[in-house]
């Protein structure tokens, strides 16, 4: 199985962001957690350019963007990666 490349753009204290990271933790899927408020502005701009969104969470799975907590969409992209 090839592991998916997952980036999760979050901010501390965001309930939906916590749902997303908990989901990936429960599935045992590794991800890069990018806190766009705490990290440099470059990563925040990166998120906006990729997604067109200024709100979080934004999830990138193998180059595909999902906005918000959408476990059905996560599953589709992860299963397509196997």
3-state helix, strand, coil in the chain (%, to 5): 45, 20, 35
Tokens encoding 59? 């999830």
Q: Beta 6-10 vs 32-35: how paired, if at all?
A: parallel
Phi, psi of 63 (to 5 degrees): 85, -10
The domain spans of the chain are: 6-81
pLDDT at 13: 94
Tens of pLDDT, residue by residue over 16-41, are 999 999 999 999 999 999 999 876 78
Query: How far, CA to CA in Å, does 35 sit from each of 5, 22, 41?
Result: 17, 15, 10
What is the CATH code of the structural domain delimited by 6-81? 3.40.30.10
- The answer, yes or no, to whether residue 82 has pLDDT greater than 70, is no
pTM: 0.91
């Amino acid at each position: 199985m090839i592991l998916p490349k997952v980036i999760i753009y979050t901010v501390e204290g965001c309930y939906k962001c916590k749902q997303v990271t908990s989901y990936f933790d429960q599935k045992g899927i590794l991800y890069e957690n990018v806190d766009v408020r705490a990290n440099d502005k470059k990563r925040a701009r990166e998120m906006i350019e990729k997604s067109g969104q200024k709100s979080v969470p934004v999830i990138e799975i193998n180059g595909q963007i999902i906005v918000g907590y959408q476990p059905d969409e996560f599953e589709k992209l992860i299963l397509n990666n196997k």
